[in-house]
Amino acid sequence: MSCEYVQSEVVTIRVGRGAKIGLGIAIAIVAVGVLFVFYTLDPGEQPIFPRCPFLLLTGYECPGCGSQRAIHSLLHFDFKAAFRSNALMVPAIPYILVGIYLQYFGGSRRHPKVEKILYGRWSALTVLVLVFAFWIGRNLF
């Protein structure tokens, strides 16, 4: 049973390394480009930013609606406006960054307790409840 995991890990390490570094650089370049576009153009005014298909289909906002405007506001350090555009987005960014550190930069080996608390069973359920509460609440109020 456990042999399978060990084996697959060895394979990924062998294949990885060079390809992983290249992929990381590519992702970083694309991310910087996208952030530059989000910094210079305002998604609230420019029609080039795609609109949410869920909003177009149903007329209701989804949990991700307003995140493009929120990114724009965050890049200009306007936390109030970001919070108004998508309140879930602001706390989600540090949470996602910690998740990336734990998974890809050896964080889960160094801080297994942090991973268990922040990304374990109860946190997954908490996130689920938060997303649904935010989804319903933003369409009611």
Partner 1 sequence: MEDNNFTPPPVPPVDGLGGWQAPPVRDTSDDIPPLKPNNWLWQSIVATILCCLVFGVVGIIYAAKVDSLYYKGQYEEAERAAKRAKIWTLIAVVVGVVYIAVSLSLYLTGNLEGLQELIEESASGYNF
Q: Which residues bind partner 1 (CB under 8 A)?
A: 1-2, 5, 47-48, 50-54, 56-59, 62-65, 67, 86, 88-89, 92, 95-96, 98-100, 103, 119-121, 123-125, 127-128, 131-132
C-alpha to C-alpha distance for 44 and 141, rounded to whole angstroms: 21
Which lies closer to partner 1 via its Cβ, residue 24 or residue 120?
120
Q: How far is the CB of 141 from partner 1 (least distance, A)?
A: 19
CB of 72 to partner 1, least distance (A): 13
Amino acid at 52: C
The angle that helices 89-104 and 67-75 make with each other, rounded to 10 degrees, is 80
d(CA 46, CA 41): 7
Closer Cβ to partner 1, 52 or 78, answer by number:
52
State the nearest-atom distance from the C-beta of 100 to partner 1, in Å.
7
- Alpha-carbon distance of 41 to 135, in angstroms, equals 27
CB of 8 to partner 1, least distance (A): 10
Nearer to partner 1, 18 or 47 (CB): 47
CB 138 within 8 A of CB 61: yes
> Which tokens is 109 given?
């080996």
